[in-house]
Amino acid sequence: MSKRYDLIIRQGMLVCPDGVKKADVAVDDERIVEIAEEISGEAKETIDASGNYVFPGATDGHVHFNDPGRTEWETIATGSNALAAGGGVAYFDMPLNCNPCTLDAKNFNNKLAVAQRDSLVDYGFWGGLTPKNLDKLEELAECGVVGFKAFSCFSGITEFERMDDYTALVGMEKLAKLGYPLMVHCENAEIVSALTAQALANNKTTVRDYFAAHSPITEIENVSRMISYAEETGCKLIIAHVSTARAVELVTQARNRGVDVSCETIGHYLILTDDDVERMGTVAKCSPPIRDAQNQTKMWGKLFNGEFTFISSDHSPCDPKLKDGEFLKVWGGISACQTTLSSLLTHGYHERKVPLADIAKLTAQNVNEVFKIPGKGKIALGFDGDFALVDLNQEFTLQAEDLFYKHKASPYVGSTFRGNIIQTILRGKTIFKDGKVVSKPIGKHLRPLV
Ligand SMILES: NC(=O)N[C@H]1NC(=O)NC1=O
Ligand SMILES: [Zn+2]
Ligand SMILES: [Zn+2]
């Protein structure tokens, strides 16, 4: 007997964990219920995807939507719209740069209320770990955080204090017991702050002065230090936005000897170089900074080796006024959550032949597996009906007005991409189509199975 499903997507090239295949996929009651060469049943809605690729909807493991409290920078509403326009169905929001920061249950619940009202797509939240909230980790875990985030160096936000070595050790001991991962922004605080102070004192504030103050060793040293604490405590460690191939090598070596450590990288470390940043200016300032072309080539090698667990955007926008000034002094953060998938299709698949199934793992599957989010991140039976429909060969040049961010700025404005997201579907419902958001906020809170 043929069934009547909520949705059937017909004849798309499905990007499944084991490769790409032409098939139909049916969704009923928000979940994928059938995948077959030809599904005989009918549906309330049918999408003809012939000629297009169907990716699992992306999950961005690392964004700063700044809501509540810094909504003049970005909001959950605008950020989640941008994510959907880029094929995203979920994100994990960082415990800063919202205000107050997510350092206890009360502020977690404040943010949850905003997301319940305003988030177009599904969401998880990071809790923070700072010297001030070692006694709040348990309550944050009970709230349902996906993990904890800490900064080894100054975070840019005074209220979100950096994690000193004592806090790193004790925090990791506690998180190991609770069974939650810690993600660390790894840059050596003493070296970065001394070099920055010296540069400022000498009026050396150019882009190259900034790179010099955040040289590769500051990341490499701190990654190895964090690995030592993880190895000692058994805490699951994730290195945030790793920017140097040498740091990735340290992570891989540690993992090979049994340490529970993995790393995330960000699109811009694979796509832009230091010379691009010099040309583009402060819109492309981030920390750690974007490195040279030689390092970038090695980073692609690491991607081909499977050494990155997932790729995020580190979407960290600000009020444009904060990007206006001398390079060393302005806000560090890049707006990118709308372009990660298209970037990887352009520079990964088309330029370097990265398999599409690997791109799907890096943008959707792995991040949900690492954080134990059930039922999300791949095109498989029983999983959420989350899809990004992609015209793989369609080229487009990104215009500022295409961006759904609160502030229409990004280093990628003016770049030409190959691989356009034409439709995004969250749990069976179309939320973005042909350049427009077509749904009210329907996001729900994602809790890990810890
Ligand atoms: N506070 C904040 O968002 N910092 C982020 N920006 C950036 O470029 N790197 C970060 O960690
Ligand atoms: Zn960071
Ligand atoms: Zn970040």
**Which residues are registered as beta bridge partners of 154?**
none
Among 64, 159, 291, which residue has the most ligand 1 atoms within 8 Å of its CB, making it the best to mutate?
64
Is 315 annotated to bind a ligand? Reply is no
Whole-number average pLDDT of the chain:
98
Q: Is 450 part of any domain? A: no
Helix (H, G, I), strand (E, B) or coil at 147: strand
The pairing of strands 4-16 and 182-185 is unpaired
Probe residue for ligand 1, chosen from 316, 327, 330 as the CB with the greatest number of ligand atoms within 8 Å: 316
Element (H, E) at 192: helix 189-201
pLDDT at 409: 97
Q: CATH number for the domain including 44? A: 2.30.40.10
**DSSP symbol at 290:** P
Q: How far is CA 21 from CA 63, 151, 384, in A?
A: 31, 42, 19
**What's the 131 CA to ligand 1 centre distance in angstroms?**
19
62 is in an annotated binding site: yes
Q: Which whole number is the average pLDDT over 366-394?
A: 98
**Which amino acid, 324?**
D
Task: List, as ranges, residues with CB under 5 A of the ion ligand 3.
Answer: 314
Q: Are residues 355 and 387 in the same domain?
A: no
Give the structural domain span for 41. Answer: 4-54+383-437
* pLDDT above 60 (res 425): yes
What's the CA-to-centroid distance between 256 and ligand 3, angstroms?
27
Closest of 263, 244, 243, 242 to residue 252, by C-alpha: 263
- Which has the closest alpha carbon to 120: 336, 430, 435, 434? 430
pLDDT recorded at residue 292:
98
Q: Is residue 447 part of a domain?
A: no
**What is the per-residue pLDDT across 405-419, written as a single tens digit (0 to 9) for each?**
999 999 999 999 999
The model's pLDDT over 337-362, given as tens digits with 9 standing for 90+, comes to 999 999 999 999 999 999 999 999 99
Type of residue at 196: T
ipTM, interface predicted TM-score of the complex = 0.98
Same domain, 268 and 404: no
Q: How far, in Å, from the CA of 187 to the mean position of ligand 2?
A: 9
Instruction: Spell 100-139 as b/e; 16+ CB within 10 A means b.
Output: bbbbbbebbeebbebbeebbbbbbbbbbbbbeebeebbee
Given a cut of 80, is residue 46 above it in pLDDT?
yes
Confidence of residue 1 (pLDDT cuts 50, 70, 90): low
The alpha carbon torsion through 350, 353, 354, 357 (nearest 10 deg) reads 80
Measured from the CA of 157, which atom of ligand 1 is nearest?
A: 1
| Residue ranges lining ligand 1, Cβ < 6 Å | 64, 96-97, 155-157, 185, 286-287, 314, 316, 332-333
Provide the residues around ligand 2 (an ion) whose CB is within 5 A.
Answer: 185, 240
Residue with tokens 């249950």: 105
pLDDT at res. 3: 74
- For position 364, which CATH number holds? 3.20.20.140
pLDDT category, 179, cuts 50, 70, 90?
very high
pLDDT at 153: 98
DSSP reduced 3-state for 443: coil
Residue 378 lies in a domain: no
Q: Is 185 marked as a binding-site residue? A: yes
For residue 424, how far is its CA from the centre of ligand 3 (angstroms)? 24
> Is 387 within a domain?
yes
Pocket test for ligand 1, best of 314, 322, 323 (most atoms within 8 A of CB): 314
pLDDT at 285 exceeding the cut of 90:
yes
Measure the CA–CA gap between 121 and 337, rounded to whole angstroms.
13
Ligand 2 centroid to 96 CA: how many Å?
Answer: 10
What is the rounded average pLDDT of the residues 27-51? Answer: 97
Are residues 41 and 102 located together in one domain of the fold? no
The 3-state DSSP class for residue 251 equals helix
Inside any domain, residue 376:
no
Residue 260 and residue 174 share a domain: yes
- Residue 48 shares a structural domain with residue 89: no
Residues 357 and 298 in one domain: yes
Comparing CA positions, the residue from 307, 315, 377 lying closest to residue 340 is 315
CB–CB of 239/223 below 8 Å? yes
Place of tokens 């943008």: 363
Say yes or no to pLDDT of 432 above 90.
Answer: yes
What is the percent of the chain with per-residue pLDDT over 90, rounded to a whole number? 99
- Looking at the fold, whether 229 and 153 belong to one and the same domain comes out as yes
Say whether both 36 and 62 belong to one domain. Answer: no
φ/ψ region of 68 (left if φ > 0, alpha if ψ in -120 to 50, else beta) reads beta
241 annotated binding-site participant: yes
DSSP assignment of 35-54: EESS--SEEEEEEE-TTSEE
State how many domains the chain has.
Answer: 2
Q: What is the pLDDT of residues 294-339, one digit of tens each?
A: 999 999 999 999 999 999 999 999 999 999 999 999 999 999 999 9
Residues 74 and 25 in one domain: no
Which numbered ligand comes closest to the C-alpha of 239? 2
227-277 pLDDT tens trace: 999 999 999 999 999 999 999 999 999 999 999 999 999 999 999 999 999
Closest CA to 86 of 112, 118, 121, 111: 121
Do the annotations mark residue 440 as ligand-binding? no
DSSP-assigned states of every residue in 348-361: IIIHH---HHHHHI
Q: Are residues 363 and 401 in the same domain?
A: no
Question: Quick check: is 146 in a domain?
Answer: yes
Do residues 285 and 352 both lie within one domain?
Answer: yes
Q: Which residues pair with 216 in a beta bridge?
A: none
pLDDT of residue 177: 98
Q: Give the sheet arrangement for strand 88-93, strand by strand.
A: 58-63, 88-93, 122-128, 147-151, 182-185, 237-239, 261-266, 310-312
Tell me the three state secondary structure of residue 338: coil
Q: Determine which residue's CA is closest to atom 5 belonging to ligand 1.
A: 333
Of all residues in the chain, the percent with pLDDT exceeding 70 is 100
pLDDT tens-digit readout, 119-163 = 999 999 999 999 999 999 999 999 999 999 999 999 999 999 999
Residues 6+ apart with CB under 8 A from 405: 74, 78, 79, 82, 317, 335, 337, 338
In angstroms, rounded to a whole number, what is the distance separating the alpha carbons of residues 368 and 376? 6
pLDDT at 212 over 70: yes
Residues 296 and 177 occupy one common structural domain = yes
Is the pLDDT at 108 greater than 90? The verdict is yes
Nearest protein Cα to ligand 1, atom 9? 287
Q: Which of 185, 266, 315, 322 to mutate to test the pocket of ligand 1 (most atoms within 8 A of CB)?
A: 185
> How far, rounded to the nearest angstrom, does the alpha carbon of residue 169 sit from its chain's CA centroid?
26
